[in-house]
Copies of this chain bind each other. A is one copy, B any other.
Amino acid sequence: MKDSLYHRIALTFEEQIRSGTLKKGQKMPSLRLVHKEHGVSLNTVLQAYYELEAKGLIVSRPKSGYYVSFSLPGLSIPSVSQPVWQCPSESVESLISRVYASLNAEGITRFSLGVPDNQLLPIARLNKAMLEAMRNLKGSGTEYEDIQGNRKLREAVARMTYAWNGKLTGEDIVTTSGTMGALSFAFQSVVEKGDTVAVESPVYFGILQLARSLGLQVIELPTHPLTGIDPDALRRVLPQIDACILVGNFNNPLGSCMPDEHKREIVHMLSERGIPLIEDDIYGDLYFGSSRPRPCKYYDTENLVLWCGSVSKTLAPGYRVGWIAPGKYKDSVIHQKLIHTVSTTTLTQEAVAGFLEKGRYEHHLRKLRNELHANSLHFSRAIEAYFPEGTRISRPQGGFMMWVELPRVDTTELYDQAIRRNISIAPGRMFSLQNQFVNCMRLSFGQRWSDEVEDRLQLLGKVAKNLMS
Protein backbone atom coordinates (compact mmCIF):
# COMPACT_ATOMS: atom_id res chain seq x y z
CA MET A 1 0.00 0.00 0.00
CA LYS A 2 1.96 2.99 -1.28
CA ASP A 3 1.03 6.36 0.11
CA SER A 4 1.10 9.30 -2.28
CA LEU A 5 4.28 11.34 -2.67
CA TYR A 6 2.94 14.55 -1.16
CA HIS A 7 1.68 12.64 1.85
CA ARG A 8 5.10 11.17 2.51
CA ILE A 9 6.72 14.60 2.30
CA ALA A 10 4.11 15.98 4.69
CA LEU A 11 4.88 13.15 7.12
CA THR A 12 8.60 13.94 7.05
CA PHE A 13 7.90 17.52 8.09
CA GLU A 14 5.34 16.41 10.62
CA GLU A 15 7.93 14.21 12.29
CA GLN A 16 10.26 17.19 12.51
CA ILE A 17 7.56 19.37 14.01
CA ARG A 18 6.45 16.70 16.46
CA SER A 19 9.99 15.95 17.57
CA GLY A 20 10.69 19.65 18.09
CA THR A 21 13.32 19.89 15.31
CA LEU A 22 11.07 22.51 13.71
CA LYS A 23 9.85 24.75 16.50
CA LYS A 24 6.71 26.83 16.84
CA GLY A 25 7.09 30.19 15.05
CA GLN A 26 9.97 28.97 12.89
CA LYS A 27 9.70 29.58 9.11
CA MET A 28 9.20 26.49 6.97
CA PRO A 29 11.61 25.89 4.04
CA SER A 30 10.35 27.64 0.90
CA LEU A 31 8.34 25.67 -1.65
CA ARG A 32 11.13 26.12 -4.18
CA LEU A 33 13.77 24.73 -1.80
CA VAL A 34 11.77 21.60 -1.02
CA HIS A 35 11.05 21.20 -4.74
CA LYS A 36 14.80 21.16 -5.40
CA GLU A 37 15.91 19.08 -2.45
CA HIS A 38 13.26 16.34 -2.83
CA GLY A 39 13.21 16.42 -6.63
CA VAL A 40 9.42 16.72 -6.76
CA SER A 41 7.12 19.16 -8.52
CA LEU A 42 6.17 22.46 -6.92
CA ASN A 43 2.58 21.31 -6.93
CA THR A 44 3.45 18.25 -4.85
CA VAL A 45 5.17 20.44 -2.26
CA LEU A 46 2.16 22.72 -2.19
CA GLN A 47 -0.13 19.75 -1.55
CA ALA A 48 2.12 18.59 1.26
CA TYR A 49 1.97 22.03 2.86
CA TYR A 50 -1.81 22.13 2.44
CA GLU A 51 -2.00 18.88 4.34
CA LEU A 52 0.19 20.21 7.15
CA GLU A 53 -1.94 23.35 7.26
CA ALA A 54 -5.15 21.32 7.40
CA LYS A 55 -3.78 19.47 10.41
CA GLY A 56 -3.04 22.78 12.12
CA LEU A 57 0.73 22.18 12.10
CA ILE A 58 1.71 25.19 9.97
CA VAL A 59 0.08 28.47 8.92
CA SER A 60 0.55 30.56 5.81
CA ARG A 61 1.42 34.25 6.27
CA PRO A 62 0.65 36.29 3.14
CA LYS A 63 3.73 37.33 1.15
CA SER A 64 6.01 35.72 3.71
CA GLY A 65 5.58 31.93 3.52
CA TYR A 66 4.65 29.10 5.89
CA TYR A 67 5.39 29.03 9.61
CA VAL A 68 5.26 26.29 12.21
CA SER A 69 2.16 26.92 14.30
CA PHE A 70 2.15 23.84 16.47
CA SER A 71 4.17 22.75 19.40
CA LEU A 72 3.62 19.44 21.10
CA PRO A 73 1.51 19.79 24.18
CA GLY A 74 3.70 20.24 27.16
CA LEU A 75 1.58 17.63 28.96
CA SER A 76 3.25 14.48 30.20
CA ILE A 77 2.03 11.08 29.13
CA PRO A 78 -0.05 9.14 31.64
CA SER A 79 1.64 6.79 34.09
CA VAL A 80 2.48 3.22 33.15
CA SER A 81 -0.31 1.17 34.67
CA GLN A 82 0.50 -0.83 37.81
CA PRO A 83 -2.58 -2.94 38.38
CA VAL A 84 -3.21 -3.64 42.03
CA TRP A 85 -4.91 -6.78 43.23
CA GLN A 86 -8.15 -5.91 44.93
CA CYS A 87 -11.58 -7.46 44.97
CA PRO A 88 -13.44 -6.60 41.77
CA SER A 89 -15.81 -3.72 42.34
CA GLU A 90 -19.33 -4.75 41.44
CA SER A 91 -20.34 -1.27 40.51
CA VAL A 92 -18.17 -1.27 37.40
CA GLU A 93 -20.97 -3.07 35.53
CA SER A 94 -23.51 -0.52 36.61
CA LEU A 95 -21.17 2.33 35.67
CA ILE A 96 -20.80 0.86 32.18
CA SER A 97 -24.58 0.54 31.84
CA ARG A 98 -25.03 4.16 32.89
CA VAL A 99 -22.50 5.43 30.35
CA TYR A 100 -24.06 3.30 27.60
CA ALA A 101 -27.56 4.47 28.43
CA SER A 102 -26.53 8.12 28.12
CA LEU A 103 -25.27 7.71 24.56
CA ASN A 104 -28.64 7.72 22.88
CA ALA A 105 -30.05 10.86 24.50
CA GLU A 106 -30.56 13.85 22.22
CA GLY A 107 -28.00 16.64 22.06
CA ILE A 108 -25.23 14.80 23.91
CA THR A 109 -21.59 15.46 23.00
CA ARG A 110 -20.39 11.89 22.91
CA PHE A 111 -16.70 11.94 23.93
CA SER A 112 -17.41 8.45 25.29
CA LEU A 113 -18.49 6.97 21.96
CA GLY A 114 -16.57 3.92 20.75
CA VAL A 115 -17.21 4.42 17.03
CA PRO A 116 -16.51 7.23 14.56
CA ASP A 117 -19.32 9.73 14.06
CA ASN A 118 -21.34 8.90 10.95
CA GLN A 119 -20.38 12.29 9.45
CA LEU A 120 -17.01 10.61 8.80
CA LEU A 121 -18.52 7.59 7.01
CA PRO A 122 -19.05 7.19 3.22
CA ILE A 123 -22.77 6.57 3.57
CA ALA A 124 -23.88 7.32 0.00
CA ARG A 125 -21.28 4.90 -1.36
CA LEU A 126 -22.23 2.23 1.14
CA ASN A 127 -25.86 2.55 0.10
CA LYS A 128 -24.77 2.02 -3.48
CA ALA A 129 -22.87 -1.10 -2.46
CA MET A 130 -25.97 -2.33 -0.63
CA LEU A 131 -28.11 -1.93 -3.75
CA GLU A 132 -25.51 -3.84 -5.75
CA ALA A 133 -25.57 -6.58 -3.12
CA MET A 134 -29.36 -6.87 -3.41
CA ARG A 135 -29.00 -7.23 -7.17
CA ASN A 136 -26.10 -9.71 -7.07
CA LEU A 137 -27.24 -12.13 -4.40
CA LYS A 138 -29.46 -15.09 -5.07
CA GLY A 139 -32.82 -14.33 -3.48
CA SER A 140 -31.60 -10.75 -2.82
CA GLY A 141 -29.84 -11.86 0.36
CA THR A 142 -32.74 -13.80 1.88
CA GLU A 143 -30.75 -17.06 1.71
CA TYR A 144 -28.29 -18.28 4.32
CA GLU A 145 -24.73 -17.79 3.24
CA ASP A 146 -21.94 -20.31 3.55
CA ILE A 147 -21.19 -20.97 7.24
CA GLN A 148 -17.56 -19.84 6.90
CA GLY A 149 -18.87 -16.58 5.44
CA ASN A 150 -19.15 -14.65 2.16
CA ARG A 151 -16.32 -15.85 -0.09
CA LYS A 152 -15.79 -12.47 -1.81
CA LEU A 153 -15.51 -10.78 1.56
CA ARG A 154 -13.05 -13.37 2.89
CA GLU A 155 -10.88 -12.97 -0.19
CA ALA A 156 -10.98 -9.17 -0.03
CA VAL A 157 -9.95 -9.26 3.65
CA ALA A 158 -7.11 -11.63 2.77
CA ARG A 159 -5.90 -9.22 0.06
CA MET A 160 -5.88 -6.36 2.56
CA THR A 161 -3.38 -8.29 4.69
CA TYR A 162 -0.87 -8.00 1.85
CA ALA A 163 -0.21 -4.49 3.27
CA TRP A 164 1.70 -6.20 6.11
CA ASN A 165 2.81 -9.29 4.17
CA GLY A 166 0.02 -11.28 5.73
CA LYS A 167 0.04 -14.24 3.33
CA LEU A 168 -3.51 -15.17 4.34
CA THR A 169 -6.03 -16.53 1.86
CA GLY A 170 -9.83 -16.45 1.90
CA GLU A 171 -9.75 -20.03 3.20
CA ASP A 172 -7.99 -18.87 6.39
CA ILE A 173 -10.73 -16.43 7.30
CA VAL A 174 -14.16 -16.82 8.94
CA THR A 175 -16.61 -13.92 8.91
CA THR A 176 -18.31 -12.86 12.14
CA SER A 177 -20.81 -10.41 13.55
CA GLY A 178 -18.32 -7.58 14.14
CA THR A 179 -15.07 -7.96 16.07
CA MET A 180 -17.02 -8.73 19.25
CA GLY A 181 -18.45 -11.81 17.54
CA ALA A 182 -14.91 -12.79 16.52
CA LEU A 183 -13.61 -12.37 20.09
CA SER A 184 -16.53 -14.38 21.48
CA PHE A 185 -15.86 -17.35 19.16
CA ALA A 186 -12.11 -17.03 19.78
CA PHE A 187 -12.52 -17.20 23.57
CA GLN A 188 -14.94 -20.11 23.35
CA SER A 189 -12.50 -21.97 21.09
CA VAL A 190 -9.36 -21.65 23.24
CA VAL A 191 -10.37 -21.42 26.90
CA GLU A 192 -13.03 -22.74 29.23
CA LYS A 193 -14.52 -21.86 32.59
CA GLY A 194 -11.85 -21.52 35.29
CA ASP A 195 -9.02 -20.80 32.83
CA THR A 196 -6.86 -17.69 33.17
CA VAL A 197 -6.21 -15.02 30.55
CA ALA A 198 -3.73 -12.13 30.51
CA VAL A 199 -4.86 -8.71 29.25
CA GLU A 200 -3.53 -5.18 28.95
CA SER A 201 -4.46 -2.62 31.59
CA PRO A 202 -6.41 -0.45 31.06
CA VAL A 203 -8.33 -2.71 28.68
CA TYR A 204 -11.50 -2.40 26.61
CA PHE A 205 -14.35 -3.25 29.00
CA GLY A 206 -16.08 -5.51 26.45
CA ILE A 207 -13.15 -7.91 26.76
CA LEU A 208 -13.43 -7.88 30.56
CA GLN A 209 -17.18 -8.47 30.45
CA LEU A 210 -16.84 -11.36 28.00
CA ALA A 211 -14.07 -12.98 30.09
CA ARG A 212 -16.08 -12.66 33.29
CA SER A 213 -19.22 -14.02 31.72
CA LEU A 214 -17.32 -17.11 30.53
CA GLY A 215 -16.03 -17.69 34.06
CA LEU A 216 -12.40 -16.84 33.28
CA GLN A 217 -9.78 -15.47 35.65
CA VAL A 218 -8.29 -12.23 34.35
CA ILE A 219 -4.74 -10.99 34.98
CA GLU A 220 -4.32 -7.30 34.12
CA LEU A 221 -0.71 -6.48 33.23
CA PRO A 222 1.30 -3.22 33.35
CA THR A 223 0.89 -1.37 30.06
CA HIS A 224 2.81 1.62 28.75
CA PRO A 225 0.74 4.46 27.22
CA LEU A 226 3.02 4.56 24.16
CA THR A 227 4.36 1.01 23.69
CA GLY A 228 1.61 -1.14 25.16
CA ILE A 229 1.87 -4.23 27.34
CA ASP A 230 5.16 -4.85 29.14
CA PRO A 231 6.69 -8.07 27.71
CA ASP A 232 8.59 -8.80 30.92
CA ALA A 233 5.41 -8.60 32.97
CA LEU A 234 3.76 -11.03 30.57
CA ARG A 235 6.75 -13.37 30.79
CA ARG A 236 6.41 -13.57 34.56
CA VAL A 237 2.78 -14.79 34.42
CA LEU A 238 3.24 -17.27 31.55
CA PRO A 239 3.07 -20.31 33.86
CA GLN A 240 -0.33 -19.18 35.11
CA ILE A 241 -2.15 -18.31 31.89
CA ASP A 242 -4.10 -20.33 29.30
CA ALA A 243 -4.45 -17.53 26.74
CA CYS A 244 -3.48 -13.92 26.13
CA ILE A 245 -5.59 -11.23 24.51
CA LEU A 246 -4.05 -8.02 23.15
CA VAL A 247 -5.15 -4.90 21.31
CA GLY A 248 -1.61 -4.23 20.11
CA ASN A 249 -2.28 -1.57 17.48
CA PHE A 250 -3.76 1.70 18.81
CA ASN A 251 -5.08 0.05 21.89
CA ASN A 252 -8.47 1.07 23.21
CA PRO A 253 -8.37 3.09 25.50
CA LEU A 254 -4.67 4.10 25.46
CA GLY A 255 -4.01 4.61 21.75
CA SER A 256 -0.67 2.83 22.33
CA CYS A 257 1.07 0.80 19.63
CA MET A 258 3.41 -2.10 20.40
CA PRO A 259 6.81 -1.86 18.69
CA ASP A 260 7.56 -4.68 16.24
CA GLU A 261 10.22 -6.15 18.51
CA HIS A 262 7.70 -6.47 21.35
CA LYS A 263 5.25 -8.21 19.04
CA ARG A 264 7.89 -10.67 17.88
CA GLU A 265 9.06 -11.32 21.42
CA ILE A 266 5.56 -11.88 22.77
CA VAL A 267 4.45 -14.22 19.97
CA HIS A 268 7.67 -16.15 20.48
CA MET A 269 7.31 -16.57 24.25
CA LEU A 270 3.66 -17.61 23.96
CA SER A 271 4.41 -20.06 21.14
CA GLU A 272 7.12 -21.76 23.15
CA ARG A 273 4.46 -22.75 25.67
CA GLY A 274 1.71 -23.34 23.09
CA ILE A 275 -0.41 -20.52 24.55
CA PRO A 276 -2.89 -19.02 22.06
CA LEU A 277 -2.93 -15.26 21.47
CA ILE A 278 -6.23 -13.58 20.62
CA GLU A 279 -5.35 -10.39 18.76
CA ASP A 280 -7.94 -7.64 18.44
CA ASP A 281 -6.62 -5.61 15.48
CA ILE A 282 -9.76 -3.53 14.95
CA TYR A 283 -7.86 -0.20 14.86
CA GLY A 284 -4.82 -1.30 12.81
CA ASP A 285 -5.96 0.36 9.57
CA LEU A 286 -6.34 3.75 11.26
CA TYR A 287 -2.60 4.53 11.49
CA PHE A 288 -1.32 8.14 11.43
CA GLY A 289 2.21 7.16 10.38
CA SER A 290 3.43 6.23 6.90
CA SER A 291 2.36 2.59 6.89
CA ARG A 292 0.11 0.09 8.59
CA PRO A 293 1.67 -1.44 11.69
CA ARG A 294 2.10 -5.20 11.55
CA PRO A 295 -0.18 -7.26 13.74
CA CYS A 296 1.26 -9.99 15.99
CA LYS A 297 -0.21 -12.41 13.41
CA TYR A 298 2.73 -11.46 11.16
CA TYR A 299 5.12 -13.23 13.56
CA ASP A 300 2.85 -16.27 14.03
CA THR A 301 4.73 -19.34 12.78
CA GLU A 302 2.78 -21.84 14.92
CA ASN A 303 -0.77 -20.83 13.91
CA LEU A 304 -1.48 -19.88 17.52
CA VAL A 305 -2.62 -16.30 16.85
CA LEU A 306 -6.34 -15.69 16.32
CA TRP A 307 -6.35 -12.39 14.42
CA CYS A 308 -9.66 -10.46 14.70
CA GLY A 309 -10.86 -7.42 12.75
CA SER A 310 -13.92 -5.66 11.33
CA VAL A 311 -15.22 -2.56 9.59
CA SER A 312 -17.02 -1.42 12.77
CA LYS A 313 -14.50 1.36 13.52
CA THR A 314 -13.95 2.46 9.96
CA LEU A 315 -17.06 1.99 7.86
CA ALA A 316 -20.33 0.76 9.35
CA PRO A 317 -20.69 -0.37 12.99
CA GLY A 318 -24.36 -1.28 12.46
CA TYR A 319 -23.60 -3.64 9.55
CA ARG A 320 -22.03 -6.10 12.02
CA VAL A 321 -19.33 -7.24 9.61
CA GLY A 322 -16.16 -8.64 11.12
CA TRP A 323 -13.74 -11.51 10.63
CA ILE A 324 -11.21 -13.78 12.26
CA ALA A 325 -8.18 -15.68 10.98
CA PRO A 326 -8.17 -18.37 13.69
CA GLY A 327 -5.03 -20.29 12.70
CA LYS A 328 -5.18 -23.84 14.03
CA TYR A 329 -8.51 -23.13 15.74
CA LYS A 330 -10.36 -22.64 12.46
CA ASP A 331 -12.60 -25.74 12.69
CA SER A 332 -13.57 -24.89 16.24
CA VAL A 333 -14.39 -21.27 15.36
CA ILE A 334 -16.58 -22.38 12.44
CA HIS A 335 -18.36 -24.82 14.75
CA GLN A 336 -18.93 -22.07 17.33
CA LYS A 337 -20.35 -19.84 14.62
CA LEU A 338 -22.67 -22.59 13.36
CA ILE A 339 -24.14 -23.48 16.73
CA HIS A 340 -24.54 -19.93 18.07
CA THR A 341 -25.84 -18.09 15.00
CA VAL A 342 -25.90 -20.47 11.98
CA SER A 343 -24.53 -17.71 9.74
CA THR A 344 -23.95 -13.97 9.61
CA THR A 345 -26.16 -11.47 7.76
CA THR A 346 -25.88 -12.18 4.04
CA LEU A 347 -26.59 -8.69 2.67
CA THR A 348 -24.24 -6.55 4.74
CA GLN A 349 -21.32 -8.93 4.11
CA GLU A 350 -21.87 -8.79 0.35
CA ALA A 351 -22.15 -4.98 0.46
CA VAL A 352 -18.86 -4.65 2.35
CA ALA A 353 -17.22 -7.19 0.03
CA GLY A 354 -18.22 -5.04 -2.96
CA PHE A 355 -16.96 -1.92 -1.22
CA LEU A 356 -13.59 -3.53 -0.47
CA GLU A 357 -13.22 -5.14 -3.89
CA LYS A 358 -13.58 -1.89 -5.78
CA GLY A 359 -10.82 -0.11 -3.85
CA ARG A 360 -13.35 2.29 -2.37
CA TYR A 361 -12.27 1.24 1.12
CA GLU A 362 -8.63 2.27 0.74
CA HIS A 363 -9.74 5.63 -0.67
CA HIS A 364 -12.07 6.16 2.29
CA LEU A 365 -9.45 5.06 4.84
CA ARG A 366 -6.96 7.60 3.52
CA LYS A 367 -9.39 10.42 4.14
CA LEU A 368 -10.49 9.05 7.50
CA ARG A 369 -6.92 8.64 8.77
CA ASN A 370 -6.05 12.21 7.84
CA GLU A 371 -9.10 13.59 9.57
CA LEU A 372 -8.58 11.51 12.72
CA HIS A 373 -4.92 12.47 12.87
CA ALA A 374 -5.82 16.14 12.62
CA ASN A 375 -8.46 15.59 15.32
CA SER A 376 -5.91 14.02 17.66
CA LEU A 377 -3.77 17.16 17.42
CA HIS A 378 -6.76 19.47 17.90
CA PHE A 379 -7.79 17.51 21.00
CA SER A 380 -4.27 17.55 22.42
CA ARG A 381 -4.05 21.29 22.02
CA ALA A 382 -7.48 21.92 23.51
CA ILE A 383 -6.78 19.70 26.49
CA GLU A 384 -3.48 21.50 27.09
CA ALA A 385 -5.27 24.83 26.94
CA TYR A 386 -8.36 24.06 28.99
CA PHE A 387 -7.69 21.20 31.41
CA PRO A 388 -6.33 21.47 34.96
CA GLU A 389 -2.61 21.85 35.43
CA GLY A 390 -0.95 18.48 35.88
CA THR A 391 -3.20 16.71 33.33
CA ARG A 392 -1.44 13.97 31.38
CA ILE A 393 -2.50 12.62 27.99
CA SER A 394 -1.49 9.69 25.80
CA ARG A 395 -0.14 10.20 22.26
CA PRO A 396 -2.37 8.12 19.97
CA GLN A 397 -0.49 7.03 16.87
CA GLY A 398 -3.72 5.82 15.29
CA GLY A 399 -7.36 5.10 16.04
CA PHE A 400 -9.49 7.69 17.80
CA MET A 401 -9.08 7.05 21.51
CA MET A 402 -7.09 9.20 23.93
CA TRP A 403 -6.33 8.40 27.57
CA VAL A 404 -6.36 11.34 29.94
CA GLU A 405 -5.04 11.28 33.51
CA LEU A 406 -6.28 14.09 35.73
CA PRO A 407 -4.70 15.23 39.00
CA ARG A 408 -6.95 14.60 42.04
CA VAL A 409 -10.22 14.26 40.08
CA ASP A 410 -12.52 11.27 40.41
CA THR A 411 -13.68 10.82 36.80
CA THR A 412 -16.88 9.04 37.87
CA GLU A 413 -17.78 12.25 39.64
CA LEU A 414 -16.65 14.17 36.57
CA TYR A 415 -18.94 11.97 34.47
CA ASP A 416 -21.90 12.83 36.69
CA GLN A 417 -21.14 16.55 36.51
CA ALA A 418 -20.47 16.51 32.79
CA ILE A 419 -23.55 14.55 31.78
CA ARG A 420 -25.70 17.25 33.38
CA ARG A 421 -24.12 19.57 30.83
CA ASN A 422 -24.82 17.04 28.05
CA ILE A 423 -21.23 15.84 27.79
CA SER A 424 -20.54 12.10 28.02
CA ILE A 425 -17.09 10.73 28.89
CA ALA A 426 -15.85 7.20 29.67
CA PRO A 427 -14.52 7.11 33.26
CA GLY A 428 -11.29 5.17 33.77
CA ARG A 429 -12.82 2.66 36.16
CA MET A 430 -14.70 1.10 33.23
CA PHE A 431 -11.40 -0.27 31.91
CA SER A 432 -10.37 -2.52 34.78
CA LEU A 433 -11.79 -5.10 37.19
CA GLN A 434 -9.41 -3.81 39.90
CA ASN A 435 -11.14 -0.54 40.73
CA GLN A 436 -8.24 1.52 39.44
CA PHE A 437 -7.82 4.45 37.01
CA VAL A 438 -10.15 6.42 39.26
CA ASN A 439 -8.63 9.71 38.01
CA CYS A 440 -8.43 8.71 34.31
CA MET A 441 -10.84 8.83 31.40
CA ARG A 442 -11.04 7.85 27.75
CA LEU A 443 -11.91 10.57 25.26
CA SER A 444 -12.95 9.66 21.74
CA PHE A 445 -11.94 12.08 18.98
CA GLY A 446 -13.90 10.25 16.27
CA GLN A 447 -16.08 13.22 15.42
CA ARG A 448 -15.64 16.17 13.09
CA TRP A 449 -13.63 18.97 14.72
CA SER A 450 -15.54 22.22 15.09
CA ASP A 451 -15.75 25.30 17.28
CA GLU A 452 -18.56 23.58 19.11
CA VAL A 453 -16.43 20.53 19.92
CA GLU A 454 -13.72 22.88 21.18
CA ASP A 455 -16.28 24.71 23.33
CA ARG A 456 -17.43 21.40 24.81
CA LEU A 457 -13.84 20.42 25.65
CA GLN A 458 -13.35 23.81 27.25
CA LEU A 459 -16.48 23.30 29.35
CA LEU A 460 -15.32 19.80 30.32
CA GLY A 461 -11.98 21.24 31.44
CA LYS A 462 -13.78 23.87 33.50
CA VAL A 463 -15.93 21.24 35.22
CA ALA A 464 -12.76 19.27 36.03
CA LYS A 465 -11.09 22.37 37.47
CA ASN A 466 -14.14 23.09 39.62
CA LEU A 467 -14.06 19.54 40.98
CA MET A 468 -10.45 20.08 42.04
CA SER A 469 -11.15 23.18 44.03
Name the B residues within 8 Å of A130 (CB-CB): 130, 134, 347
Number of chain copies forming the complex? 2
Q: Please give me the 4 A-B residue pairs with the lowest Cβ-Cβ distance, nearest first.
A: A318-B346, A118-B139, A142-B316, A184-B340
The contact sample of 26 A-B pairs, CB cut-off 8 A, is A115-B144, A118-B139, A121-B139, A126-B142, A127-B134, A130-B347, A137-B318, A141-B319, A142-B316, A142-B319, A143-B317, A177-B345, A178-B342, A180-B341, A180-B342, A181-B340, A181-B341, A192-B215, A193-B193, A206-B342, A210-B339, A318-B343, A320-B341, A320-B342, A340-B340, A347-B347
Bound Cα distance A100, B338 (Å): 11
A213 with B335, Cβ < 8 A, contacts A142-B126, A178-B342, A206-B342 known: yes
Task: Tell whether A203 is near chain B: CB-to-CB under 8 Å.
Answer: no
Contact partners of A147 in chain B: CB under 8 A? 100
Q: Which of A315, A317, A320, A344 has the most CB of B within 10 A?
A: A320
Do B341 and A177 touch across chains, with their CB atoms under 8 A apart?
Answer: yes
* Residues of A in contact, count (CB < 8 Å): 53
How close is A252's CB to chain B, nearest CB, in angstroms?
13
In the complex the two chains form, what is the Cα distance from A103 to B188 in whole Å?
27
**Contact status A341-B178, CB under 8 Å:** yes
In A91-105, the 8 Å CB interface with B consists of: 100, 104
Contact (Cβ within 8 A) B345 A320 = yes
Give per-residue flags for A201-220: 1 if the beta carbon is below 8 A from chain B beta carbons, else 0.
Answer: 00000100110010100000
> Is A336 among interface residues, defined by CB-CB distance under 8 A?
yes
